[in-house]
């Protein structure tokens, strides 16, 4: 339905461009010359519409679950809300909402002694890289001071770094800070071992997180 809708809108903007994002995509040129293909435009527009929806929801839920299953950390964060951004970064590292991305090898390449032939389809699991013991000390632990260890890969890297990273970080920081300010006592209304995760190898998130809380 998204594709059908945007296909119609693309044709409208081709005939009658306006001063909006859709018209900018339709009239965009790669290196100032080559227009985007229909498929490229459709993929881009759908990403604009849905990206950051489920992923940010998953991040918010993972931060909540992390705090509620780590009472000492939760108490420290309540006592100093300036810790919220650091906790968010660690949860991004440990519980990356997107675990990886598909890529195609443009040429033969050898990585770690393994030859990957040109044209091979790959699934790059950067969620695994976020727990690399060569990059992070005690990688499976949540430590709020990892600034000296370099950035995590939750938003990707290089030219494909997530465009929505700043808004995702801001939404999560504001959401968690507001949640803590407006509540007193918060508890899980479910056994932590019974929490279900999305049945997906690409996305990582909690399906449902029942809570009990007292308003501040």
Q: Which two tokens stand for residue 112?
A: 């770690």
Residues 72, 40 share a domain: no
Residue pLDDT, tens place only, 138-196 = 999 999 988 667 789 999 888 888 888 999 999 999 999 999 999 988 999 999 999 99
Distance CA 180, CA 177 (A): 5
pLDDT at 92: 96
Region class of 158: left (phi > 0), else alpha (psi between -120 and 50), else beta: left
If we measure between CA atoms, which residue out of 99, 149, 88 comes closest to residue 129?
A: 99
Least confident of 125-134, 157-166, 201-210: 157-166
Mean of pLDDT values over 4-30 = 94
Of residues 53 and 62, more confidence is placed in 62
**How is residue 115 written in tokens?**
């030859």
Q: Count Cβ atoms within 10 A of the Cβ of residue 56 and give its class: 0-12 exposed, 13-18 middle, 19 or more buried.
A: buried
Residues 97, 45, single domain; the answer is no
Q: Is the Cα torsion angle 204, 201, 140, 104 positive or negative in sign?
A: negative
Boundaries of domain holding 9: 1-50
> Do 34 and 64 reside in the same domain of the chain?
no
Q: Is the pLDDT of residue 122 over 90?
A: yes
pTM: 0.83
pLDDT 10s digits, 67-106: 999 999 999 999 999 999 999 999 999 999 999 888 899 9
Are both 92 and 29 inside the same structural domain?
A: no
- Note whether 181 and 200 are same-domain residues: yes
Tokens found for residue 126: 């950067």
Q: Let me know whether 16 and 60 are in one domain.
A: no
In a shared domain, residues 204 and 116: yes
pLDDT at residue 2 tops 90:
no
> Which segment of 40-44, 174-178, 205-209 scores lowest on mean pLDDT?
40-44
Same structural domain for residues 13 and 98? no
The answer on 98 and 40 residing in a single domain is: no
Percent above pLDDT 90 for the chain:
76
Please, where are the H alpha helices in the chain?
A: 2-15, 21-26, 38-50, 54-68, 71-79, 84-94, 126-129, 165-181
Residue 193 belongs to domain with CATH number: 1.10.630.10
Indicate whether 153 and 73 sit together in one domain. Answer: yes
Burial 178-216 (b: 16+ CB within 10 A, else e): ebbeeeeebebeeeeeebeeeeeeebbbbeebeeeeeee
pLDDT tens, residue by residue, 102-118: 889 999 999 989 999 99
Q: For 126-130, 178-182, 194-198, 200-204, which range has the lowest pLDDT when averaged over its residues?
A: 200-204
CA torsion 166-171-176-178 (nearest 10°) is 130
- Is 209 a residue whose pLDDT tops 90? yes
Are residues 116 and 162 both part of a single domain? yes
**Is the predicted pLDDT of residue 34 greater than 80, yes or no?**
yes
Q: How many domains does the chain have?
A: 2
Residues 74 and 39 in one domain: no
């Amino acid at each position: 339905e998204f594709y059908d809708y945007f296909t119609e809108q693309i044709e409208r903007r081709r005939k009658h461009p306006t001063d909006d994002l859709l018209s900018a995509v339709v009239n965009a040129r790669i290196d100032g010359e080559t227009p985007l293909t229909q498929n490229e435009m459709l993929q881009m527009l759908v990403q604009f519409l849905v990206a950051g929806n489920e992923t940010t929801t998953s991040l918010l839920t993972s931060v909540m679950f992390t705090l509620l299953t780590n009472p000492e950390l939760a108490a420290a964060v309540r006592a100093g809300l300036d810790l919220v951004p650091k906790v968010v970064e660690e949860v991004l590292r440990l519980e990356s909402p997107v675990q990886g991305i598909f890529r195609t090898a443009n040429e033969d390449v050898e990585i770690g002694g393994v030859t990957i032939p040109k044209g091979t389809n790959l699934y790059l699991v950067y969620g695994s890289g976020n727990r690399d013991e060569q990059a992070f000390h005690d990688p499976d632990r949540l430590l709020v001071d990892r600034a000296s260890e370099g950035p995590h890969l939750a938003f990707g890297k290089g030219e494909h770094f997530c465009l929505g990273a700043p808004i995702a970080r801001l939404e999560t920081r504001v959401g968690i800070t507001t949640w803590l300010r407006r509540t007193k006592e918060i508890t899980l209304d479910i056994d932590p071992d019974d929490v279900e995760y999305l049945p997906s190898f690409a996305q990582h998130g909690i399906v449902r997180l029942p809570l009990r809380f007292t308003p501040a």
